Amino acid sequence: MLSPAGLKQRSDFMQSLRLFFRQRDYIEVDTPIRLPVLLPESEIFPYTSESWWLQTSPELCMKRLLARGVTRIFQICHCFRREEQGRLHAPEFTMLEWYHVGWDYLDLMRECEQLVVALAVACSSFTGITNGKNFLRDDREVRLTPPWHRLTVDEAFAAYTNTTALAALAEDRFDEILVTEIEPHLGWDRPLFLYDYPVQLGSLARPKPEAPHLAERFELYCCGIELANGFSELVDAAQQRLRFSEEISTMQGHGQAGEMPESFLHDLSRLGDTAGIALGVDRLLMLFSGASRLDDVLPFSKDELY
């Protein structure tokens, strides 16, 4: 349970987040967290709420708002995922998600750099921040001055493993190898964007025009911890339907429920080029405050609710 000082620190952090986006003419939105249908994602396991679902991400509703004409939106909200519990995971967690129409994933990487630097400056008194805007983690200083490092997925597999991304996919070991052999090395000198994932791992991301076997997707890492997942959005409704069909088939094969989000697909057909990103607020606050686990920055841990 957070102390009064910890609660104030969390509050100051949230206000700094909001200020960054308000100064850039983003609209803050507040969408429902209980939904009759979710986006089909076979690797994410939702909680039920009677006959509906608790959101695993606000993506579905936020993209539907974008299709109605707004161009810059953000949301700070609670999301819920089963089978996620540990030092860096919680079944209920705080997500920051934002979208910018007319951008691609490269534009979003640059704004992500600017956001984290601005937050570090605003929260310079926090324990995990040194010299005004750097991280200190495990006695190692992580510099935040842009540009941050960028590494393709293929380059990461070549540097840290004895296999390739495609071979790992074929053996159904991509996530295992990424987590155990690659992630611990990422983001220790500066934060790092790992980008250009195999297209099979970006079901909502746009394929690269010059390399359609890759998705315009990135993940942000700092101190070996994944902080964010972003991409150039796939806005081709017909192609998205095909990808959802594949996800639903995989889900049904695992005994999961899956349903086609028809209203989402209808609205997606009206959306132009867009980039979007989801950032784990609790993880970033954990780094800022020098904490070693998520429970140290949450008002209540799960065990304290009994």
Which of 133, 287, 277 lies closest to 223, judged by CA? 287
> What confidence score (pLDDT) does residue 84 get?
64
- Helices assigned H by DSSP within the chain: 4-22, 59-66, 105-122, 153-160, 165-170, 174-177, 237-253, 262-268, 281-289
pLDDT tens per residue, range 194-217: 999 999 999 999 999 999 999 999
> What confidence score (pLDDT) does residue 253 get?
85
Low-confidence ranges of the chain (pLDDT < 70): 84
Tell the CATH topology of 4-305: BirA Bifunctional Protein; domain 2 (3.30.930)
The helix (run of H) or strand (run of E) holding residue 279 is strand 274-280
What is the residue-wise DSSP string for 19-61? HHHHTTTPEE----SEES-----TT--PPEETTEEE-S-SHHH
3-state class (DSSP) for residue 290: coil
Query: pTM score > 0.75 for this model?
Result: yes
Sorted by where each begins, the domain ranges of the chain are: 4-305
Read off φ and ψ for residue 101, nearest 5 degrees.
-70, 140
Q: How far apart are CA 34 and CA 80, in angstroms?
A: 10
Say if residue 147 is preceded by a cis peptide, omega within 30 of 0.
yes
Number of residues that this document lists for the chain: 306
> Could you tell me how far CA 272 lies from the centroid of its own chain?
21
- Helices assigned H by DSSP within 38-192: 59-66, 105-122, 153-160, 165-170, 174-177
The CA-to-CA distance between both ends of the chain, in Å, stands at 13
Within 8 A by CB and 6+ apart from 101, the residues are 66, 70, 71, 72, 271, 272, 273, 274
pLDDT tens per residue, range 91-127: 999 999 999 999 999 999 999 999 999 999 999 999 8
Q: What is the sign, positive or negative, of the torsion defined by CA atoms of 30, 225, 112, 268?
A: negative
Of the CA atoms within 13 Å of residue 169, those in its CB half-sphere come to 14
| Assigned token pair, 240 | 């998205």
